[in-house]
Amino acid sequence: MNMNNLEQIPQFMQAYRNCRLRVGFSGGADSTALLLLLLAWSWSPEALEAVHFDHGLRGEASKLDAVWCRQFCAELNVPFKLVELHLDECIDSAGSLEELARQRRLQWYQMQSDDRPVVLAHHAGDVRENLLLKLARGGNVSSLCSLQEIRQLGKTTFLRPLLVREKSELENYLQNCRITDWRHDASNDSNEFHRNYLRNELLKKWCGYHAPVSSGLLRSYQVLAQDADFIEACAKEKLQSLGSPLPESSPCDFWRKLHPALLARILPDYLNQLAGRDDVMLTHGMLEHFQRVLAWSPSPEKRLIELGQGCSFTLKNDILCRWHPEITLPDKQLWDYRREPEKVWGHYRVRATLLTGAVDERKIGVFCFDAGCMPGVLFLFRRSGGEKMTVWGSTEPRRVKHLLSGCSDAAGIVLVGDEKDNIYLLGNLRRSTFAPVKADTVQTLRIEVVQEA
């Protein structure tokens, strides 16, 4: 390994030399090497924040990982942030835990009040795995190349400076730095998960049988990324032809004439921009449904076209128009939580429980406050515009509109606050810094917020 080459800052990272960075830090070899390399690339320790996610899935091992990571960062004088996601409560839910964990991490990064870029430790092995996994799931060329050196998701910039590096290079770098005790996630050894089976069995055997496979997959990734860049540039130009700002109505003929490769990119981008979202990702089935609609004969009858993910159109006289559902929300309601522990507001149900002593229960949709610091009554109300909230873990107020970026229920979410409209809870998503539970708390107010179907 060429040590000097590894310690040379990647060219694209030069543009971020004066930025404060968040660093995804699991304590594994990859992220440990990344943290050390950022320091070697002349970032000062105080310009970095190492973020460690405890997913709550591995019991004591997860806690030991967090302890090791905190101590390692302390030795480097790098600020450390522990984020507990409690995915153990979601084990019985439908869907992939791996995908859920990815979504929760992404959501946490996007909910932060500043615009710090996030640096992640994906390497060449991850590139190969991602390429083959997305291929097996029927992904298009943009999906196959989703691991990029620079990627913008909403207002958050993600940087991946190690994509051309092999895992063995990173481990050798650590050993040369006299570090041999990085953390190992034992769940990565289990072939129960598709990604692990691909990494531990298929790729290892394939590359062992035919060595050029390893470099060939990386070359394929590079040329596919060029193809994706070209198609996405064409899609962006075509979408702009609709006008600026984007109109909510458009002729069906515009959509009919699109090549399927462009339609798959333009339609979700169009919906995201109209709704101020960044999370609309249409499935193959949704796109097929949309194409079937385009084949209908023109009619003066207004028809509702539901695509899913909160995205719908009306179709009339061969014109598609984005459909806004009528939301009927209650007025501002007083909540005397001591006399009325449970209250329904819109499609949210809030429950209050008073507990003796200091209780800091951490579950999805459950929030604990020092009852002695809380007002006697609370209010349930909706957004009217311009609200700000200082969320837990932050010191600066942030606009609620920005905190709800990407939330599909942003218009109908319940706010819990006091008579001065100070916001204590943002639906079942976030809590404020008001009335934290402390060691000397005499009574805890536990509030559970449930979103009902």
Let me know the angle formed at the C-alpha of 40 by 39 and 42, rounded to the nearest 5 degrees.
70
SS3 call for 408: coil
pLDDT (tens digit per residue) in 171-206 = 999 999 999 999 988 888 888 888 899 999 999 999
In whole angstroms, give the CA distance from residue 250 to residue 98.
38
In whole angstroms, give the CA distance from residue 190 to residue 350.
40
Of 278 and 242, which is predicted with more confidence?
242
Q: What is the pTM of this model?
A: 0.71
Of 161-170, 216-225, 412-421, minimum mean pLDDT range: 412-421
| pLDDT confidence bin for 95, thresholds 50/70/90 | low
Residue 386: the pLDDT is 82
In whole angstroms, give the CA distance from residue 96 to residue 217.
26
In whole angstroms, give the CA distance from residue 302 to residue 364.
40
Per-residue pLDDT at 91 exceeds 90: no
Question: Considering the chain, what percentage of its residues have pLDDT values greater than 70?
Answer: 95
Residue with structure tokens 């004969």?
297
Query: Domain spanning 333-451: which CATH class is it, in words?
Result: alpha beta
pLDDT (tens digit per residue) in 378-403 = 999 988 878 899 998 888 898 888 88
Q: Which residues contact 235 (CB under 8 A, 6 or more apart)?
A: 262, 265, 266, 269
| pLDDT confidence bin for 342, thresholds 50/70/90 | very high
Contact 160, 117 (CB under 8 A): no
Domain 241-322 in CATH 1.20.80? The answer is no
In whole angstroms, give the CA distance from residue 376 to residue 169.
60
C-alpha to C-alpha distances, 389 to 105, 331, 423, 430, nearest whole angstrom: 21, 20, 6, 10
Would you state the structure tokens that stand for residue 312, as one six-digit string?
Answer: 């719908």
Kind plus residue range of the DSSP H or E element containing 290 = helix 284-294
Of 428 and 3, which is predicted with more confidence?
428
Number of other CB atoms surrounding residue 211 within 10 Å: 10
Residue 308: the pLDDT is 81
User: Among candidates 36, 40, 41, which has minimal Cα distance to 16?
Assistant: 41
Per-residue pLDDT at 142 exceeds 50: yes
Per-residue pLDDT at 141 exceeds 60: yes
User: Given 3.40.50.720, 3.40.140.10, 3.40.50.620, 1.10.1240.10, which CATH number is that of 3-215?
Assistant: 3.40.50.620
Summary mean pLDDT of the chain: 90
| pLDDT confidence bin for 406, thresholds 50/70/90 | low
Contact 431, 391 (CB under 8 A): yes
Tell me whether residue 140 is exposed, middle or buried, using C-beta atoms within 10 angstroms of its C-beta: 0 to 12, 13 to 18, 19 or more.
middle
Tell me whether residue 436 is exposed, middle or buried, using C-beta atoms within 10 angstroms of its C-beta: 0 to 12, 13 to 18, 19 or more.
middle
Question: Considering the chain, what percentage of its residues have pLDDT values greater than 90?
Answer: 66
Per-residue pLDDT at 3 exceeds 50: no
| pLDDT confidence bin for 25, thresholds 50/70/90 | very high
* Domain regions of the chain by residue span: 3-215, 241-322, 333-451
Tell me whether residue 277 is exposed, middle or buried, using C-beta atoms within 10 angstroms of its C-beta: 0 to 12, 13 to 18, 19 or more.
buried
| pLDDT confidence bin for 207, thresholds 50/70/90 | very high
Residue with structure tokens 């051309």?
164
| pLDDT confidence bin for 16, thresholds 50/70/90 | very high
Of 5-14, 83-92, 136-145, 363-372, minimum mean pLDDT range: 83-92
